[in-house]
Each structure stands twice: as C-alpha cells, then as structure tokens.
Amino acid sequence: MDGAADASPANKFIIQALLIESEVTMKCCLCYEEIDVNVFGWTEGHNADPLSEDGRCCSICNATKVIPARLNIIEPIINADLKAVEGERDVKESVS
C-alpha cells in the first residue's frame, strides 16, 4: 500500500505545514533582507555569530560583517602566537 495514500489527517497536516514553511523565506538578522539561496539550494543562510547568537545572515553580511568580526576576535591570538614563535627563534639564535 502507498504510504502517501493512507496518510492520516494528522500526517497530511504536518506535510502541508512543512510545505508552507519551506516557502517562507528567511530574513537576515543583520540587514533584514531576504536570505539568498546558495548554489546547492541551501536556504538558511550563514551562522551570524558573533554578531548574533542565534540569528542567520545573508551571504553579503556574512562576507562583509560576520567574517571580519571573527577575524578581529582571533587577530590578537594570532599576533600573540607569532610573537611567541619569534621570541623562541630569537632565543635559539642568541644561544647558538
């Protein structure tokens, strides 16, 4: 027997709700424009953290706001690591 043909009214309601939900476009939590659909069909945008804890953003805001914000967070860590490596190199060169 075909599973769709014998779907209960509750299952039909759930299926219909999912279809309606899939037609609703998401809005970017940063610029409030519609979130773009990527080449693979993904419609839910990008993780907007650290600019929004639980929001989703469009590709433009991801590239121009979210990624730079993430880089600003890790820049001091990278610089500290580079200084540590340079300091180790200076110590090795002064010993030899």
Domain ranges of the chain: 26-95
- By the 10 Å C-beta count (0-12 exposed, 13-18 middle, 19+ buried), 43 is classed as middle
Q: Please, which pLDDT band fits residue 67 given cuts at 50, 70 and 90?
A: very high
- Secondary structure class of 81 (helix, strand, coil): helix
pLDDT band for position 28 (cuts 50, 70, 90): very high
Inter-residue contact 56 to 26 (CB < 8 Å): yes
Burial class (CB in 10 A: 0-12, 13-18, 19+), 20: exposed
pLDDT value for 5 = 56
Q: Is the pTM of this model over 0.75?
A: no
Which backbone phi and psi does 71 adopt, to 5 degrees? -65, -35
Segment 57-86 shows an average pLDDT of: 94
